[in-house]
Chain A
Amino acid sequence: MNRKKKKMSLSAKRSRTGFLFILPWLIGFIWFYARSLFMSIQFSLSNLSVSPGGGYTLDFVGLDNFLYAFRAHATYKQVLTTSVGNMLIDVPLITFFSLFMAILLNRKFRGRTLVRAIFFLPVILNSEAIVDAMDLARNMMSGGLSSASAEMAQASSGGMGIAYYMEMFGSLGIPEFLIVYLMGAVTRVSDIINASGVQIIIFIAALQSVPGSMYEVAKIEGATTYETFWKVTFPMVMPHIITNIVYTVVDSFTQSDVVELAYNTAFTESNYGLSSVFSLCSTAITCLILVIVCGAIQKRTFYYN
Chain B
Amino acid sequence: MATIKSIIQDVRDDKQFANDRMRWASNIKGFILFLFRLVIIVGICYVILGPVIGIISSSFFSDADSYNPMVYMIPQEPTLYRYELASKYLDYARTMLSSLLYAASLMAIQVFICSMVGYGFARYQFPGKNILFACVVIMIVIPTNTIMLPLYMTFAKFDVFGIIKMIKGAAVNLLSSPVPMYIMTIFGCGLRSGLYIYIFNQFFRGLPKEIEEAAFVDGAGTLYTYFRIMLVNALPSAVTVAIFSMVWQYNDTFYAKLFLVSDSIVISKRISTITATISTLEKILDPAILQLFLDAGIVLVMIPIVIIYVLLQKQFIEGVERSGIVG
A residues 48-95 near B (Cβ < 8 Å) are: 54-56
A242–B190 alpha-carbon span in the complex (Å): 24
Report yes or no: A18 in contact with B123, Cβ–Cβ below 8 A: yes
- Check A109 for interface membership: any CB of B closer than 8 A: yes
Report yes or no: B146 in contact with A119, Cβ–Cβ below 8 A: no
- Check A99 for interface membership: any CB of B closer than 8 A: no
Report yes or no: B326 in contact with A209, Cβ–Cβ below 8 A: yes
Binds B, one of A130-138, A158-166, A171-179: A130-138
Nearest Cβ in chain A — how far from B270, in angstroms? 9
A39–B153 alpha-carbon span in the complex (Å): 10
Instruction: Note all chain B residues with C-beta closer than 8 A to A31.
Output: 187, 189
B residues 115-171 near A (Cβ < 8 Å) are: 116-117, 119-121, 123-127, 129, 132, 135-136, 138-151, 153-154, 156-157
A11–B120 alpha-carbon span in the complex (Å): 14
A204–B320 alpha-carbon span in the complex (Å): 10
Report yes or no: B113 in contact with A25, Cβ–Cβ below 8 A: yes
Chain B interface, number of residues (Cβ within 8 angstroms)? 86
B321 touches which of A36, A126, A205 (Cβ 8 Å): A205
Interface code B293-314, partner A: CB below 8 Å = 1, 0 otherwise?
0110010011001100110011
Report yes or no: B253 in contact with A128, Cβ–Cβ below 8 A: yes
A272–B156 alpha-carbon span in the complex (Å): 15
Binds A, one of B1-9, B15-23, B49-57, B276-284: B49-57
Q: Which of A32, A259, A275 has the most CB of B within 10 A?
A: A32
- Check A182 for interface membership: any CB of B closer than 8 A: no
A27 touches which of B37, B156, B187, B294 (Cβ 8 Å): B187
Say which size band chain A's interface belongs to: 35 or more
Known: A33-B139, A250-B143. A137 touches B317 (CB 8 A): no
A120–B49 alpha-carbon span in the complex (Å): 11
- Check A127 for interface membership: any CB of B closer than 8 A: yes
Interface code A124-158, partner B: CB below 8 Å = 1, 0 otherwise?
11111110011111101100110000000000000
Report yes or no: B146 in contact with A279, Cβ–Cβ below 8 A: yes
B143: nearest chain-A partner, CB-CB: A254
Instruction: Note all chain A residues with C-beta closer than 8 A to B211.
Output: none
- Check B219 for interface membership: any CB of A closer than 8 A: no
Known: A129-B272, A280-B146. A137 touches B325 (CB 8 A): no
Instruction: Note all chain B residues with C-beta closer than 8 A to A140.
Output: 54, 58
Report yes or no: A290 in contact with B124, Cβ–Cβ below 8 A: no
B197: nearest chain-A partner, CB-CB: A25
- Check B291 for interface membership: any CB of A closer than 8 A: yes
Instruction: Note all chain B residues with C-beta closer than 8 A to A135.
Output: 51
- 6 closest pairs, A vs B, by CB? A18-B124, A28-B187, A21-B120, A25-B188, A36-B147, A36-B150
**A-contacting residues of B (Cβ < 8 Å)?**
37, 40-41, 44-45, 47-52, 54-55, 58, 73, 113, 116-117, 119-121, 123-127, 129, 132, 135-136, 138-151, 153-154, 156-157, 173, 184, 186-189, 193, 197, 222, 247-248, 250-253, 268, 271-272, 291, 294-295, 298, 301-302, 305-306, 309-310, 313-314, 316-317, 320-322, 325-327
A-B contact pairs, 18 of them (CB 8 A): A18-B121, A18-B123, A18-B129, A21-B116, A24-B187, A31-B187, A39-B149, A116-B317, A119-B48, A127-B251, A127-B268, A129-B268, A136-B291, A145-B50, A205-B322, A239-B327, A254-B143, A276-B149
**B-contacting residues of A (Cβ < 8 Å)?**
11, 14-22, 24-29, 31-33, 35-37, 39-40, 43, 54-56, 101, 104-105, 107, 109, 113, 115-130, 133-138, 140-141, 144-145, 189-190, 193-194, 201-202, 204-206, 208-209, 239-240, 243, 246, 250, 253-254, 259, 262-263, 266, 272, 275-276, 279-280, 283, 286-287, 290
Q: Can you name 16 extra interface pairs (CB under 8 A) apart from A40-B147, A130-B271? A: A15-B125, A17-B222, A22-B116, A40-B149, A125-B52, A127-B253, A127-B268, A128-B272, A133-B291, A133-B294, A134-B52, A138-B51, A194-B48, A201-B325, A243-B327, A246-B140
